[in-house]
Amino acid sequence: MTYSGTVPNKVFSMAKRDYYEVLGVAKDATDADLKKAFRQQALQNHPDRNPGDAAAEERFKDAAEAYDALSDAEKRQRYDRFGHAGMTGGGAANYGNMDDMFSHFGDIFGDIFGGGGRQRARSNRGADLRCDIEITLEDAVAGVRRELDLPRMEACDTCHGSGAKAGTDADTCGQCRGRGQVSTRQGPFMFSVTCPGCGGQGKTLKPSNRCGTCGGGGQRRVEKKVGVKIPPGVDTGTRLRVGGEGEKGAVPGSASGDLYVVIHVQPHSKFRRIDDDLHCDIDVDVVSAVLGGLVAIALIDGGVEKIKLPAGIQPGEQLRIRGRGVPHLNSSSRGDQFAHVRVVVPKKLSAEQRALYEQLAVHAATAA
């Protein structure tokens, strides 16, 4: 059969799914049931958890539309009587713009993701700070505590971090409508970026309402003493994290950043460090090198260790003292200390010493 003429639009339009079916609830579902069902749908199909998944975004929109209709008593009554026909003209919302949806259901998304829908992506956490300090090798071995004078930003004492003059308050940012982020399109993708109008805070201040102390920034630069415990075993390049001692967050109540202390160990005049072992040089006279005996070796902590020197030791050979090196970081064990032997030949001899060496030379020649 050939058909000519105008085909009504409704012939090609797909029938909308039942709102109760979309949320997976019964028709007598309570408000709590509806909210729970919508939370589950939002968790599963949220665009941030399914980047680039158009089908998930559509399911998310469908669930939002269904919840919008059924969570409102008047809309639900109209839907129960007339179905989708009762939703036209002031019925269920059409969320073509994702930002509109996040704004409308901010409380639900805040419950789910811990911070107001996409607003959760806005971090008001303070900036991290870095401080480089030099310590001696002795401090690296024993551990040490340092008091640091750190300049950093903290909440303004006058406005307590609000940035507003006493008796005034900030206005909701008109650009992001208080969310702190705006959507921007790059090719086929939508991205959320920090709102340029309010810097991600969701609020703006009129110039006349700004705090006179901080100029509306809500923060001021102060110098604070911070105690840092440097554990035994650190080395040049070791980073120590001191939680919460960075910059204060720009928004009252937000988390502070962290302080990262970077260690630099000064070179030592007597000891060389290789990993967690210490190396030093000891001078041994010719007689001791030949006959052996006891030798005193200086330790990094200021003590002295006497060890046996084997007879016939050669220049460059090492004597090992176990457990006298650098402590392994965050461990009770230590590296070792190695003493490198340097045989010292006398430059000047007494007449008696020369005679003894000459006798030794004759004896050596005879033995050969």
* Listed range (109-123, 260-274, 323-337) with the worst mean pLDDT: 109-123
* Listed range (199-203, 271-275, 305-309, 315-319) with the worst mean pLDDT: 199-203
* Listed range (89-98, 273-282, 287-296) with the worst mean pLDDT: 89-98
CA distance 175 to 11: 41
pLDDT in tens, 310-321: 999 999 999 999
> Is it the case that residue 107 has pLDDT exceeding 80?
no
Tell me what percent of the residues of the chain surpass a pLDDT of 70.
Answer: 82
Token output for 32: 């709590």
3-class DSSP assignment, residue 17: coil
> Is it the case that residue 54 has pLDDT exceeding 70?
yes
Model confidence, pTM = 0.56
What pLDDT score was predicted for residue 88? Answer: 64
Query: Using 50, 70 and 90 to split pLDDT, how confident is the model at 117?
Result: very low
> Is it the case that residue 93 has pLDDT exceeding 60?
no
Query: Using 50, 70 and 90 to split pLDDT, how confident is the model at 113?
Result: very low
What pLDDT score was predicted for residue 303? Answer: 94
Nearest by Cα to 68 from 111, 19, 138, 113: 19
What pLDDT score was predicted for residue 204? Answer: 84
Average pLDDT, the chain: 82
Query: Using 50, 70 and 90 to split pLDDT, how confident is the model at 84?
Result: confident
Token output for 51: 């980047």
| Domains identified in the chain and CATH numbers | 14-121 (1.10.287.110), 129-163+216-265 (2.60.260.20), 272-367 (2.60.260.20)
Tell me what percent of the residues of the chain surpass a pLDDT of 90.
Answer: 38
What pLDDT score was predicted for residue 4? Answer: 37
Who has greater pLDDT, 103 or 238?
Answer: 238
Task: Show the CA angle centred on residue 253, arms to residues 252 and 259, nearest 5°.
Answer: 100
Please count the other Cβ atoms lying within 10 Å of the Cβ belonging to residue 38.
Answer: 24
* Distance linking the first and last C-alpha atoms of the chain: 125
Token output for 238: 């070791």
Who has greater pLDDT, 17 or 185?
Answer: 17
CA distance 12 to 78: 26
Q: φ and ψ at 129, to 5 degrees?
A: -115, 155
pLDDT in tens, 170-212: 888 888 888 888 887 655 556 678 888 887 778 888 888 888 8
* Listed range (99-108, 133-142, 242-251) with the worst mean pLDDT: 99-108
What pLDDT score was predicted for residue 48? Answer: 66
**CB 181, CB 121: distance < 8 Å:** yes
